[in-house]
Amino acid sequence: MKHYLSIHDLPSIKATVNEAIELKKDPLRFNHLGKHKTIGLLFFNNSLRTRLSTQKAALNLGMEPIVMNFGAEGWQLEFEDGTIMDQGKSEHVKEAAEVISQYCDVIAIRAFAGLEDKAKDESEEVLSAFVKYATVPILNMESSVGHPLQALADAITIEEHKPAKKKLKVVLSWAPHPKALPHAVGNSFAEMALAHEDDFEVVITHPKGYELDPEKTKGARIEYDQKKAFEGADFIYTKNWSSYKNYGQVACEDRSWMITADKMEVTDQAKFMHCLPVRRNVVVADEVINSEQSIVIKQANNRTFSAQVVLKKMLENL
């Protein structure tokens, strides 16, 4: 594994999950692995968990994190080839990526979907350009279409909290939100869950019009009746996203899709999961997120260990 762009870059998700759970017992065990190595964390968008947990993971491995808020602190980047750069952008990503590769042993990037141009978002403009031009491993800290560090943390969390059952029912449920949000978390969760086909029955539920990219959800059961989807579930993973078909539009903002206690009651004592930040009483009712079934805080804790296990693999490969 050189880059970590999608969960499929892992040689084995299961083995990686187990390795992360081992790391968590002794987070400083590989503290010498990253000595005198720097990781550049480049933020094109805001961040709390990713910002802090990726730094923590790097520190646990003995690395030196260097954080840069790209828009505010650096230069506007040009991504097109052959442009006459006489407008607002003062540096081409080719130079930026090659140059940063000389100062940092790993480059981590957060660059959200703009939700205005589907083709542009699907091309992973920022992430792909760094993969193309950088000469060091690239770590995806949430891109236009994926959030694989989150998905790996989710897999770790499910492994830690799963009931003793032959097959788990794992439900990804859309929930309402006042703003149009990207598909990255939903996509990556679906990909991760579907990669567990022997162990998980994967159900995705949302109002009509909120179908995710069918490429990412192949093999999942799509169920438009939320309550029916929840029946007997072991994990309810909630996230809002905007329409994929009418790209970036808010098709409906149906508040009845909020996760409530009565919906959780039809599950098999399912654990409630969300990547955070979450809008209380819009996405999920207080009664659910405050309940014992909610494991969102533990899930956030696993962000450190998903980043750490991935960085460990990168360092071992340098």
Contacting positions for its own copies (CB under 8 A): 28, 31, 36, 38, 40, 43, 46-49, 51-53, 55-56, 59-60, 64, 66, 68-69, 72-75, 78, 81-87, 90-92, 95-96, 98-100, 102-104, 178, 276-282, 286, 296-297, 300-301, 304
CA dist., res. 62 & res. 85, Å (int): 40
CA 267, 243, 180, 71 torsion: positive or negative? positive
- Residue entry with tokens 């014992």: 292
Give the amino acid at 315: L
CB closer to its own copies, 60 vs 226: 60
Are 272 and 294 contacting, i.e. CB atoms less than 8 angstroms apart? yes
CA dist., res. 135 & res. 52, Å (int): 25
Q: What's the min distance (Å) between Cβ of 39 and its own copies?
A: 12
CA 281, 285, 291, 297 torsion: positive or negative? negative
The burial of 136, by beta-carbon neighbours within 10 Å (0-12 exposed, 13-18 middle, 19 or more buried), is given as buried
DSSP β-bridge partners for residue 65: 39
Q: What's the min distance (Å) between Cβ of 34 and its own copies?
A: 12
Q: What's the min distance (Å) between Cβ of 63 and its own copies?
A: 10
Q: What's the min distance (Å) between Cβ of 73 and its own copies?
A: 6
CB closer to its own copies, 203 vs 285: 285
Q: What's the min distance (Å) between Cβ of 24 and its own copies?
A: 11
